[in-house]
């Protein structure tokens, strides 16, 4: 498959709706080049959905995974049956149990080509979809391609060598022993393992999340792990009171938040949590472990390696790191392996190991590229505000020496929604979900993540016309020219 150079030839025009970004059978982004395309995607408009050649893997079934599901449900007696392929029987049984607890719908498991497909009737399907999306434990596109005999299966030894190399690479970044790092099929599956381990330590307690959340980081503990409460207000006195009253199992935080790109005061919140017997779980995906060091304060760090660590946009993976300083280190070292339902597959590990070899060179370049675009946008009269961690003192408290602020920024335009729509349609960069790629990727993030709760997001200070940009490695003057032209068109 010929690879298009998305740095100089982005997938941006109306005619490219639905194309895989990048041009790979394993792409995790899909072209939604116009504002209306995003709305049509969220409303499942037929023409839009039929145009999609890819989809973000947890929000739907990659075409290869979909083919496995189609084979599994062929001849099924269920009315309006759906298939959900998982990598092993243990995960499929966990999904089946979740569905059966929620509703008395019909659910069966069928093995097909080495994968295990949960098959649901119409009533059980919404719950299977929720489990699939929130946990990130679905079969990967590479596993599906191997099952379909469209790709070669690597040897177990190759896969194990790749996982060893990845654990060593991550341990070098986090400055901890490789034994404290676990690899997972996605960032959300890493969080799922973390929450399972914490529930084993504190079985009767629920969770608290502080700061505006990524949708599935909030939904996973709420829907799958017995409950979680969200506190947008990060005032330390308020949080101290709530922690004393609620005594949660853990406090979950994002470093920084998506898409507002602001950090909570991690050292202070960690102190409050630990005083009340709660663990701290941190998501460092956006900040990047090369830029920030939460390990002195967080007991567990989960990360989506799909994003900046991989950089390619066609690998789904995650990691979970136990802090060597955690008072629960011993218990977590026992419970994390027991609650890990699926490993990162051999094929995905090999692809990730290859793609992340340049991580220490690439991340600083992405940091600088984002900072450069951020400063240009701040100076433009059409831009009302730019959101970025540069002026966030809480982010700076956990920054590493000589590090940067990550590849992500968000911004609002002076004229609001109408201008944002016109700008987005005119912007000549790749447009779709995900972040951290070598090429720039823009989207109206709030529409994609919170379409069913836009009023709630607005009340939280997150407007629907906010534009989010993952800045890539395009030539800086050329990239700014594209933004400037769209701003002034």
Evaluate whether 372 touches 166 at the Cβ level (below 8 Å): no
Evaluate whether 343 touches 449 at the Cβ level (below 8 Å): no
**Domain map of the chain by residue range?**
63-139, 156-355, 358-487
Helix or strand holding residue 192 (H, E): helix 187-201
341-346 average pLDDT score: 97
Q: Report how far apart, in Å, the C-alpha atoms of 173 and of each of 150, 311, 366 are.
A: 35, 16, 17
160-165 average pLDDT score: 98
Q: Which CATH number fits domain 358-487: 3.90.1150.10, 3.30.1600.10, 1.10.10.60, 1.10.1740.110?
A: 3.90.1150.10
Report the distance separating Cα 163 and Cα 347, nearest Å: 10
pLDDT (0 to 100) of residue 280: 98
Report the distance separating Cα 434 and Cα 29, nearest Å: 6
- Does CATH place domain 156-355 in 3.40.640.10? yes
Report the distance separating Cα 445 and Cα 437, nearest Å: 16
Neighbours of 335 (CB within 10 A): 20
Evaluate whether 256 touches 287 at the Cβ level (below 8 Å): yes
Identify which of 408, 427, 418, 432 has the alpha carbon closest to the alpha carbon of residue 487.
Answer: 427
Residue 23 has pLDDT above 70, yes or no: yes
- Does CATH place domain 63-139 in 3.40.50.300? no
The DSSP result for 249-316, as a single string, is SEEEEESS-TTT-----HHHHHHHHHHTT-EEEEE-TTT-TTTB--TTT-SEEEEETTTTTT-SS---
390-395 average pLDDT score: 96
**399: DSSP letter:** B
Residue 318 has pLDDT above 60, yes or no: yes
From first CA to last CA, the distance across the chain in angstroms is 35
Would you say the pTM of this structure is higher than 0.75? yes
Question: 332: helix, coil or strand?
Answer: helix
Report the distance separating Cα 253 and Cα 251, nearest Å: 7
Backbone angles phi, psi at 58, to 5 degrees: -85, -15
Report the distance separating Cα 202 and Cα 188, nearest Å: 20
Average model confidence (pLDDT) across the chain: 96
Q: Which of 91-105, 131-145, 212-226 has the highest mean pLDDT?
A: 131-145
Confidence band for 1, pLDDT divided at 50, 70 and 90? low
31-38 contacts, C-beta under 8 A, 24 or more apart: 31/430, 31/431, 31/432, 32/431, 32/432, 32/433, 32/443, 33/425, 33/431, 34/424, 34/425, 35/420, 35/421, 35/424, 35/425, 35/444, 38/443, 38/444, 38/447, 38/448
Residue 77 has pLDDT above 90, yes or no: no
Residue 375 has pLDDT above 80, yes or no: yes
Q: What is the dihedral of CA 454, 457, 462, 465, to 10 degrees?
A: 0
Report the distance separating Cα 211 and Cα 258, nearest Å: 10
Characterize the bridge pairing of strands 279-283 and 181-184. unpaired
Cα 389 to chain centroid, rounded: 19
What confidence tens digit (pLDDT) does each residue in 84-125 have? 999 999 999 999 999 999 988 789 999 999 999 999 999 999
Identify which of 415, 403, 388 has the alpha carbon closest to the alpha carbon of residue 470.
Answer: 388
pLDDT (0 to 100) of residue 343: 97
Residues 6+ apart with CB under 8 A from 198: 207, 249, 250, 279, 281, 300, 335
Confidence band for 80, pLDDT divided at 50, 70 and 90? confident
Characterize the bridge pairing of strands 250-254 and 207-210. parallel
Backbone angles phi, psi at 275, to 5 degrees: -65, -25
Handedness of CA 410, 434, 390, 268 (dihedral sign): positive
Neighbours of 16 (CB within 10 A): 17
């Amino acid at each position: 498959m010929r690879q298009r150079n998305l740095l100089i030839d982005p997938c941006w025009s109306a005619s490219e709706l639905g194309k895989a970004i990048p041009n790979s059978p394993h792409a995790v982004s899909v072209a939604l080049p116009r504002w209306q395309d995003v709305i049509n995607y969220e409303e499942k408009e037929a023409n839009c959905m039929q145009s999609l050649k890819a989809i973000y893997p947890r929000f739907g079934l990659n075409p290869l995974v979909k083919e496995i599901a189609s084979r599994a449900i062929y001849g099924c007696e269920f009315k309006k049956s759906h298939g959900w392929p998982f990598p092993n029987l243990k995960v499929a049984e966990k999904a089946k149990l979740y569905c059966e607890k929620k509703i008395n719908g019909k659910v069966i498991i069928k093995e097909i080509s080495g994968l295990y497909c949960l098959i649901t009737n119409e009533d059980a399907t919404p719950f299977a979809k929720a489990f699939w999306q929130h946990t990130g434990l679905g079969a990967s596109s590479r596993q599906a391609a191997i099952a379909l005999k469209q790709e070669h299966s690597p040897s177990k030894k190759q896969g194990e060598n790749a996982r060893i190399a990845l654990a060593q690479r991550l341990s070098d970044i986090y400055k901890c022993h490789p034994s404290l790092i676990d690899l997972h099929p996605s960032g959300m599956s890493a969080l799922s393992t973390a929450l399972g381990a914490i529930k084993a330590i504190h079985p009767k307690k629920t969770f608290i999340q502080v700061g505006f959340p990524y949708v599935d980081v909030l939904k996973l503990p709420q829907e799958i792990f017995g409950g979680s409460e969200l506190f947008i207000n990060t005032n330390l006195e308020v949080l101290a009171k709530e922690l004393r009253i609620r005594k949660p199992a853990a406090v979950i935080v994002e470093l920084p938040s998506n898409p507002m790109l602001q950090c909570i005061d991690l050292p202070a919140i960690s102190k409050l949590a630990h005083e009340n017997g709660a663990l701290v779980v941190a998501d460092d995906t956006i900040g990047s472990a090369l830029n920030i060091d939460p390990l002195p304060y967080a007991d567990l760090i989960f990360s989506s390696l799909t994003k900046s660590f991989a950089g390619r946009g066609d690998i789904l993976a995650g990691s979970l790191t136990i802090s060597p300083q955690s008072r629960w280190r011993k218990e977590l070292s026992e419970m994390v392996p027991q609650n890990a339902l699926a490993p990162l597959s051999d094929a995905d590990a090999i692809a990730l190991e290859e793609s992340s070899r340049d991580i220490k060179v690439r991340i600083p370049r992405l940091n600088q590229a984002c900072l450069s675009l951020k400063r240009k946008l701040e100076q433009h009269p059409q831009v009302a505000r730019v959101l970025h961690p540069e002026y966030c003192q809480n982010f700076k408290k956990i920054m590493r020496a000589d590090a940067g602020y990550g590849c992500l920024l968000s911004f609002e335009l002076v004229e609001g929604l109408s201008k944002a729509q016109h700008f987005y349609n005119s912007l000549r960069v790749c447009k779709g979900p995900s972040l951290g790629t070598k090429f720039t990727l823009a989207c109206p993030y709030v529409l994609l993540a919170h379409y069913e709760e836009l009023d709630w997001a607005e009340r939280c200070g997150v407007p629907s016309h906010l534009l989010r940009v993952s800045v890539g490695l395009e030539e800086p003057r050329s990239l700014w020219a594209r933004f400037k032209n769209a701003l002034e068109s």
